[in-house]
Amino acid sequence: MTALFKIALRAIMRNKLRSSLTILGIVIGVGAVIVMVSIGQGAKAFVEKQLESLGTNVLIIIPISTTHAAARGTTGTITLTAEDAFAMAKECSAVSYVSPGIRTTTQVVYGNMNWTTGVSGAGPDYQIIRNWPLKDGRFITQQDVNIMAKVCVLGQTVVTNLFGTLDPVDRWVRVNNIPFKVIGVLSAKGQSPTGQDQDDMVLMPYTTVQRKIMGVTHIGYALASSTTAESRFEAIDQITSLLRQRHRLRPDEENDFTVISQVEFASTVMETSHTMTVLLGSIALVSLFVGGIGIMNIMLVSTTERTREIGIRMAVGAKEKDILFQFLIESTVLSSIGGIVGIIFGIFTSKLVSHYGGWPSLLSSPSIAVAFLFSNMVGIFFGYYPARKASRLNPIEALRYE
């Protein structure tokens, strides 16, 4: 076997340019597989990180059924109240925390600086549900909610645009010409899976936003957290049953609310990411097959050029399997060299794409191993026919070949 390997290497080195062009398809194929899979894995890890930033076991309760609104072609009537949220926390055993929420967009002013951002009303449990630590100061308390306190907690983007390098805690900002004291600053979370800047927001007690900013009594949504990830379906059922009862909906009436689970959203995103990774990887594998066809073509040419050499080997005692293994090893060595160079090319390209293209990439050892193994399989598969053809040559006719 060692002797056959040396013969294969000598045959490859005899025609360096032709061998290099032959393995080029394998190099591109293996490199493309590694790049595509690393980009897909990087995107998946990036989305997972973003989903973690949304909070743990989060359920979002939105007033008005989406199907109902779509059928009517209207936005309907707001039906969700803070009392509904309190009832969820009290009566739904699978729910651990609930925070009423309401949101609007307005201008926030500090000195001669201003910034248009989202102002969200929240309860004390909001920080726990969203798993959002503070960088400085304190969060909204139940006392703040009860007295409709003029206090706020700022996201990092708002701090940067209004205060620059100043410490905003205990300073005052104006919202709708009403002064609000900054009591805390949220730690940075970055973009959400939908591409929104999560740090571009101002949090206030929801009662303050209701009465002093918007002048309404309803809430825009409620955030809830199930006790465990597994209990989210039970929590959804309990919330649905409770709200239908509280809203006095008949059995034949549609829900006037929608409960959205972040887990289902995450699953959809992950499935999409997985599908794209498989699709891109499959397209890249086509290059490997093209490279395999190139190997078959060159091996057929090689067996024709070396017909007399094959005849001499057979004349001195080489068996059919020896000739078969000789050319199989040669095609496998070609594909293996292409696989190794392709791995180096793929890793280098992944780093370049990540650095200059701004796309997240995550190198996967299994994908590298699979790509290399597949390149060897291509060499064996496409090299078998030329090797078999060479091994079945008639020794006498081979010796006469010019």
Contact 100, 206 (CB under 8 A): yes
Note the pLDDT of residue 263: 63
Q: Judging by DSSP bridges, how do beta strands 178-186 and 172-175 pair with one another?
A: antiparallel
- Model confidence pLDDT, tens digit, residues 260-275: 886 666 666 667 667 7
What phi, psi does 70 have (nearest 5°)?
A: -65, -40
pLDDT, residue 279, reads 74
| N-term to C-term CA, the chain | 29
pLDDT score for 51: 61
State which residues of the chain have pLDDT below 70.
Answer: 1-5, 7-8, 11-12, 47-56, 65-78, 192-195, 262-270, 272-273, 276-277, 280-281, 284, 357-360, 398-402
3-state secondary structure of 394: coil
Burial 282-293 (b: 16+ CB within 10 A, else e): eebbebbeebbe
Q: What is the pLDDT of residue 86?
A: 93
DSSP letter assigned to residue 200: S
Kindly report, residue by residue over 342-371, the tens digit of the pLDDT.
889 888 888 887 777 666 677 778 878 887
**Dihedral, CA atoms, 35, 41, 45, 50, nearest 10 degrees?**
80
Give 38's strand partners. Answer: none
How far is it, in rounded angstroms, from Cα 124 to Cα 82?
A: 13
Q: Amino acid identity, residue 312? A: I
- Which residue is listed with tokens 């390149």? 375
- b/e 41-77 (16+ beta carbons within 10 angstroms → b): bbbbebbeebbebbbbbbbbbebbbeebbeeeeeeee
pLDDT of residue 69: 44
Beta carbons within 8 Å of 30's beta carbon, 6+ residues apart: 288, 338, 339, 341, 342, 343, 345, 346, 371, 372, 374, 375
Return the DSSP state at 220: S
Our CA angle for 238, 244, 247, nearest 5°, is: 135
Identify whether the C-beta of residue 296 lies closer than 8 Å to the C-beta of residue 385.
yes
| Cα 12 off chain centre by | 42
Q: Whole-structure pTM over 0.95, yes or no?
A: no
Please state, in angstroms and rounded to a whole number, the distance separating the CA atoms of residues 295 and 331: 7
Pairing of strands 58-63, 257-261: antiparallel
Closest CA to 270 of 344, 172, 191, 193: 193
Q: What's the pLDDT at 389?
A: 81
Nearest to 208 by CA among 89, 100, 136: 100
Res 272: pLDDT: 67
Q: State residue 72's pLDDT score.
A: 42
CB 164 within 8 A of CB 101: no
Using CA atoms, how far residue 180 sits from 57, 107, 114, 207, in Å, is 32, 13, 14, 14
Q: Where are the beta strands (DSSP E) in 170-296?
A: 172-175, 178-186, 201-205, 221-226, 257-261
